[in-house]
Amino acid sequence: MAMNMILLGPPGAGKGTQSKRLEDTYSITQLSTGDMLRAEVKSGSELGKQAKAIMEAGGLVSDDIIIGMISNRVDQDDCKQGFILDGFPRTVPQAEALDSMLSDKSLKLDHVIELTVDDEAMVERICGRYTCSKCGQGYHDKFQKPAKDGVCDKCGSTEFIRRADDNEETVRNRLSAYHEQTAPIANYYGDKGILKKVDGMADIDVVTSSLKDIIG
Ligand code: AP5
């Protein structure tokens, strides 16, 4: 049966790291609005041009753009088994739009899980993060090194990239945007009785186990 869920949490909380693991375990698809926007920026599309400066400053791209992007993506075949929303919704209007979008498509949310973390630790996590440029596997200078230095565990590539917005100044702006615009959606889902919380400061494997305990 299809399973749809949201992973909530500030920049660096581990949404991307955990979504990739849950994708493999439950055969569901990670839908990261950040990854979608970065693909638009890379392609040089009109949408990408609009989003680039906002992302590099650590602000939020407009709700209309994001909602349209997700609605199209959810209709694709690889979401039939279910999806994990990573980085969406990020504002109350996005959460409300998601509700009506799911109801129009006769879909529902099975889980909303918040990764709770300390802001200061997020700066270190994000500034040390990098990914394989070929397969997208994520790593960290200190917390998640490849088994062989400079070689991707997953695909063997030796090329890695760091995100343009992963510097301290932008991370602090992203954390402010989170507290001002995104944190209220935890109450939105709390009021609906669907929100669960997991300690995102635990080791990566421990966080994965806690998520699986909730999901079943
Ligand atoms: P987005 O790509 O969504 O970035 P984000 O929310 O800032 O989240 P991150 O990807 O930084 O963090 P993460 O929680 O996935 O952490 P990760 O697992 O990599 O958005 C980027 C931008 O796009 C936004 O700023 C905005 O401009 C725009 N945007 C996107 N969606 C939008 C929307 N809906 N509306 C409007 N604008 C939107 O982990 C981080 C590092 O820590 C990794 O190196 C990892 O190895 C390490 N790590 C993870 N877990 C642990 C752990 N438990 N212990 C130790 N290290 C850990």
| Size of the chain, expressed as the number of residues it contains | 216
* Reported pTM: 0.94
Ligand 1 pocket, 129 CB below 6 A? yes
Reply yes or no on whether 21 is catalytic.
no
Residue 2 has pLDDT above 90, yes or no: no
Q: Model confidence over 124-150: pLDDT tens digits? A: 999 999 999 999 999 999 999 999 999
Reply yes or no on whether 15 is catalytic.
yes
Query: What does the DSSP assignment read for 66-131?
Result: HHHHHHHHHTSGGGTTEEEEES---SHHHHHHHHHHHHHTT----EEEEEE--HHHHHHHHHTEEE
% pLDDT > 90, the chain: 98
Identify the sign of the CA torsion 115, 118, 123, 124.
Answer: negative
**Best residue for ligand 1 mutational test, from 23, 33, 98, 185 (most atoms within 8 Å of Cβ):** 33
Catalytic residue among 15, 38, 73, 125, which?
15
Of 12, 2, 7, the C-alpha closest to 144 is 12
Residue 112 has pLDDT above 90, yes or no: yes
Q: Coil, helix or strand for 134?
A: coil
Reply yes or no on whether 174 is catalytic.
yes
Ligand 1 pocket, 55 CB below 6 A? yes
Q: Coil, helix or strand for 141?
A: coil
Residue 169 has pLDDT above 90, yes or no: yes
Catalytic residue among 38, 52, 125, 129, which?
129
- CA 15 to ligand 1 centroid distance, Å: 6
Of 141, 50, 126, 62, the C-alpha closest to 94 is 62
pLDDT class for 17, splitting at 50, 70, 90? Answer: very high
Structural contact between residues 87 and 206, judged by C-beta atoms closer than 8 angstroms: no
Residue 1 has pLDDT above 80, yes or no: no
165 CB-side CA count, 13 A: 23
Chain position carrying tokens 């407009």: 62
